[in-house]
Amino acid sequence: LFGILAGSVGGLIHDVAVVRFNVNHVISGVAINLFAFGAMRYLSELVYTKDTGGGISKSPQQKSALPRFNMPFLAGGRIGNWKSPDMLGWLEHRRFFLLPDLAGVIRGLMFNVSMASMLALLLVPFSTWVLWRTRFGLRVRSSGEAPDAAESLGVKVTPLRYLALAISGAFAGFGGAFIAIVMTGYYQQGQTASRGYIGLATTIFGNWRPTGVLGGASLFGFAEALQLVGRD
């Protein structure tokens, strides 16, 4: 929640620079990224001392993680205290043609899944519905693509831009918090590894549509997952 809030504040700072002072959005975004990197380095040196179990550039390991689950029946998840069958796991170890491989891929999407991952996936259809099926979404898109036309119809473009960038920053903060809380379990300097710029490329690749962004993110994520498989 703090990560989402901090991301929203970053989006509002970007708002002020771009909307109020008409700064180029690329320059503003790069400046905020540089400021965030330096600020985190300064704060981590103050907070993560040796007494806390951390260091100058690394936080202590978190004491508790977000809950994870396995899909019942398909990946052996539990229903109450009863452990359901693992159908995909059983099929994965059979000596059939192609089916075990497909079962292994599908099971990988349903085994040991973080609740944060499920929330991120649910945001895709929700964002699509909001942007293309609601009045608010139509006004947000028109405020970005054709602000003059939107203003001529009585739409208050400036407040909508502030709100949209705050929401966008909250999504970015959620992604950053996911890396520190779910992927690694601790904060480390530079752990984002320029994934924010990859997110920007993914947005362009997906043609600014949530479903397209999901497809692009899956492609980039698959390439990164290959590195992890190589290490194992």
What's residue 134's pLDDT? 94
Q: What pLDDT score was predicted for residue 120?
A: 92
pLDDT at 191 over 90: no
Backbone phi and psi for residue 97, each to the nearest 5 degrees, phi listed first: -90, 120
Specify the pLDDT at position 171.
93
pLDDT score of 97: 87
Residue 214 confidence class, pLDDT cut points 50, 70, 90: very high
The whole model's pTM is what? 0.84
- How far is 89 from 15, CA to CA, in rounded Å? 48
**Residue 16: is its pLDDT beyond 80?**
yes
Q: How far apart are CA 31 and CA 56, in angstroms?
A: 23
Is the pLDDT reported for residue 13 higher than 90? yes
Q: Percentage of the chain with pLDDT > 90?
A: 36
Handedness of CA 69, 71, 75, 76 (dihedral sign): positive
Average pLDDT for residues 10-31, to the nearest whole number?
A: 91
Residue 122's pLDDT is: 93
Q: Find how far residue 140's CA is from the centre of its chain.
A: 21
Check residue 199 and give its pLDDT: 86
For 42, list phi and psi in degrees, rounded to 5: -70, -45
The residue behind tokens 């194992």 is 232
**pLDDT tops 80 at residue 25:** yes
What confidence score (pLDDT) does residue 61 get? 83
- Which pLDDT score is estimated for 14? 93
Residue 66 phi/psi, 5-degree rounding, is: -65, 145
pLDDT tier for residue 231 given thresholds of 50, 70 and 90? low
Residue 129, pLDDT score: 96
pLDDT of residue 209: 92
Convert the pLDDT of each residue in 66-99 to its tens digit.
888 888 888 888 888 888 999 999 998 888 888 9
The model's pLDDT over 109-159, given as tens digits with 9 standing for 90+, comes to: 888 889 999 999 999 999 999 999 999 999 999 988 888 888 888 889 999
Please give the average per-residue pLDDT across 54-68, as a whole number: 81
pLDDT band at 230 (very low <50, low <70, confident <90, very high): low
The answer, yes or no, to whether residue 232 has pLDDT greater than 90, is no
